[in-house]
Every structure is written in C-alpha cells, then in structure tokens.
Amino acid sequence: MTNLTKEKSAAAYLFSAPVIVASLGYFVDIYDLLLFGIVRIPSLTELGLDEAAVSIEGASILNWQMTGLLLGGILWGILGDKKGRLSVLFGSIITYSIANFACGFVHDVTIYKVLRFIAGIGLAGELGAGITLVSESLPKKLRAIGTSVVAGVGLLGAVVGYFTVELFSWRNAYFIGGGMGILLLFLRIGVFESGMFHAMKEKHHVAKGNFLSFFTKKSRLLLYLKCIGIGLPTWYVIGILATFSNEFGKALGITEAIKPGLAVMWCYVGLSAGDLVSGLLSYWLQSRIRAVTYLMTFTAIGSIIYLYGGIHTATGLYAMCLWIGFGIGYWAMFVTIGAEQFGTNVRATAATTIPNMVRGTVVLMTTLYAALKPGLLALNAAAVVGLLCFGIGFYCIRTIPETHHKDLDFVED
C-alpha cells in the first residue's frame, strides 16, 4: 500500500500543471526556434533571392536570431529572478508568438531579419524559466525526471515543425506556430508561481537577478563557465554534424543527396528520447554527473563513427544522426545542473542564460570549421572542432559539484 501511495504521489508531481505547461511551452518554443532553418530556402526564394543571396541572407537572418537569443537569455533571466518565473513564461511566449505570426506576412528581407531577431529574444526565455519553475516545484528526487519530461516532450516540436512545412506552405507554418503559442497562454492561467521564489521575494536585502554577479566571484564564475562547457557537445552535434550533413555526405561518397533538414529532424527525434532516458538514468544512478558522462561518451563514440565509420548510404547517415541525437539527450540534465548550482535569487538568470550561451558558441564552431575546412577537408575539420568541444565537455562534467540531492532553497551572497 505504501509503494502504491508513493507511485501515485510521484505521478501527481510529474503530471502537475507546471510540468505539463512547461513541456507544451518548450514544444512550441522548439517548433518556432527551428522553423526558419527548415523554411530558409523556400521562404527566401519566394522573396526573389537567387541561390547566392539565399546563402548570404539566410546566414545573416540566422545570426540576427542568434543575437536575439543571447540578449533575450540575459533579459528574461533577470526578469525571472526579479518578477517571477511565470512572468517570463507569459512574456516570452507573447513575444515570439507575435513575431512568428508576423513572419507569415513578410515580403522584405530586412523586415524578416528584424522579426527573427524579436522572435529570438522571445524564444530565449522559455526553457530556462520552465526548468527553473519545475525544479523548484518538484521534490529533489523527482527533479531530473520532471525536467527531462519537459525537454523530451518539447523537443518533439522539431519533428512537428519539419512535417508542418512538408504539408503546408512556409507562411502557414509560421501562422500555425504563432497560433499554438497564443493557445498556450490560456493553459498557463492556472499555473502557480514557485514557492521558493515567493519566499525569496520577501527577502528585500537579497539582490535578485544580478547577471553581473556571475563575474564578481572567481569560484562562481568558474562554476558558471563549467555549466556552459558541459553543453558544448550538444550544439556541436546539431550545429555542425547535423546542419552540414550534406557536406559530410559528399565527403563520405554517398551518392544520394543528404537533406540537412531531415538530418536535424532525426537528430531531434533521438534527442527527445535521450532526454527522457537521461532523467531516468540520473534517478537510477542517483547522480547527474555519471548520467551525463555516460551519454556524452555515447555521443563521442557515435560522432567518430559518423565521421570515420565508412558510412556509404543516406539511411546510414540519418541513423547516425538518430544515435548522436540520443546521446545529446542530456540537454535537459545540463540545464537542470545549471539551475541547481545557483541560489534562488539568480537561478532563473543562470538557467536561462547558460543554454543560450551554448547556442551562441555555434557561431564560433561554424567559424572554426569553415577556417579549417580548406586545409583539412570537411571530415577532419569537423573532427578537430569536435575534439575541442568534447574535451571541454568531459573536463567540465567531471569537475563540477554533484547536485542530485542538493536542496535548492538557498540564495547567493
């Protein structure tokens, strides 16, 4: 009878409003985040750009969106600690839903850039605020599973985004994304704010949402940088191996043309499954560090096979995207670790800025890859970038404090 009660109690927590709403919010977030990458060529072609201009302007628009993500991560993180986790969940989704809906009407490249920049700002707040709210709402033994459910469900938005574009026009895909966001607002009305935030809010002497506090103390700065370092392999896989899969397909001698959009989709299918498994693995091992280390190792092995395993078919390459996607399924665990390392007064700032800092490093990865490619060729250039990312990732996860059993009811001085 006791076990049954515990199971019901655990299920009640994992199917509570904060978990469900955060999961659906991240689903819409990922759908909108990846949508431009999927519709880049058809949308810019319809706007009258030739192949060369599509490449140049497409990269520019992506950079504008990424800049929005970096700035938005800081903005929403600070607001999350000053005004509350729910204020970010509402504000961010209103921002990116309106921007994405407006993208469906765009007829000018400059306006397109501005809208993707605004969308990037909005998209930056969803995951960090959701993970923070769920982490503070669940018992510590269930935090890993709860946050993994959020990411596992949310990342399926990439799959829905791909098939939405396949079935409808790119403009309708934007309208659908904006519409889903507005519908989600109604679901959020019944969600309550984190009790830890309410308790911390009454402590008027405590500085809240101070982003610069991560840089004022050496030990705190090193901890912050290690949290970012853990996430580098995740966006190496997405930003290099999946995004440039068409180049690797040619380098491997695969005759069938590789579709990067399809490679990214299979990567996210694996990522979604891996996120669910990572939470269970952390729960079973009673350790965040061991769970992430195992999955990072699985990803590193898959990356080596991807580049040097002699893959000769498109099916084989897509299968490897599924493999390495599953391996980087520690994404939710990595964001959770970031949230658990810092006090309630800067927790939303940490959880929101850390994943967006990792996304921002993609610019450095792609720049290095492009610089190395002429001399080393595509496969070797990607391997060098991967060696750096995994080297940093393994060092950071093996030297960061364990947080599986950590009590989160504390503040930073």
Torsion of Cα atoms, 72 then 401 then 340 then 93, to 10°: 30
Q: What is the pLDDT of residue 200?
A: 58
255, with CB counted inside 10 A (0-12, 13-18, 19+), is: exposed
pLDDT of residue 190: 60
In whole angstroms, what is the distance from residue 282 CA to residue 299 CA?
17
- CB of 69 within 8 A of CB of 126? no
Residues 6+ apart with CB under 8 A from 68: 116, 117, 118, 119, 120, 121, 122, 123, 124
The reported pLDDT for the residue numbered 202 is 61
Residue 142: phi and psi, rounded to 5, are -105, 0
Separation CA 152–CA 24 (nearest Å): 10
Which CATH architecture is the domain 19-186+211-399 placed in? Up-down Bundle (1.20)
Q: Looking at the chain, how many residues does it have?
A: 413
Q: Which helix (DSSP H) or strand (DSSP E) does residue 239 occupy?
A: none
Domain definitions of the chain by residue range: 19-186+211-399
Instruction: Give me the half-sphere count of Cα atoms (radius 13 Å) on the Cβ side of residue 179.
Output: 7
Q: Which long-range contacts (CB under 8 A, 24 or more apart) does 307-311 make?
A: 307/241, 307/248, 307/379, 307/382, 307/383, 307/386, 308/379, 308/383, 310/252, 311/252, 311/254
138, 195 contact by CB (below 8 A):
no
CA angle at 30 for the pair 107 and 316, rounded to the nearest 5°:
105
Cβ count within 10 A of residue 59: 12
The structure's pTM equals 0.83
Rounded CA separation 109/121 (Å): 19
Q: What is the predicted pLDDT for the residue at 385?
A: 96
For the chain (length 413 residues), average pLDDT per consecutive 10?
50 80 84 84 90 82 86 88 79 90 94 95 84 82 84 82 88 92 77 56 64 90 96 94 91 92 88 87 92 97 97 96 95 88 87 88 88 94 97 97 84 76
**CB under 8 Å to 410, separation ≥6 — which residues?**
343, 344
pLDDT at 105: 95
Which helix (H) or strand (E) segment is 133 a member of? helix 126-137
Q: Which of 398, 222, 160 is nearest to 294 (CA)?
A: 398
Cα separation, 102 vs 172, in Å, equals 11
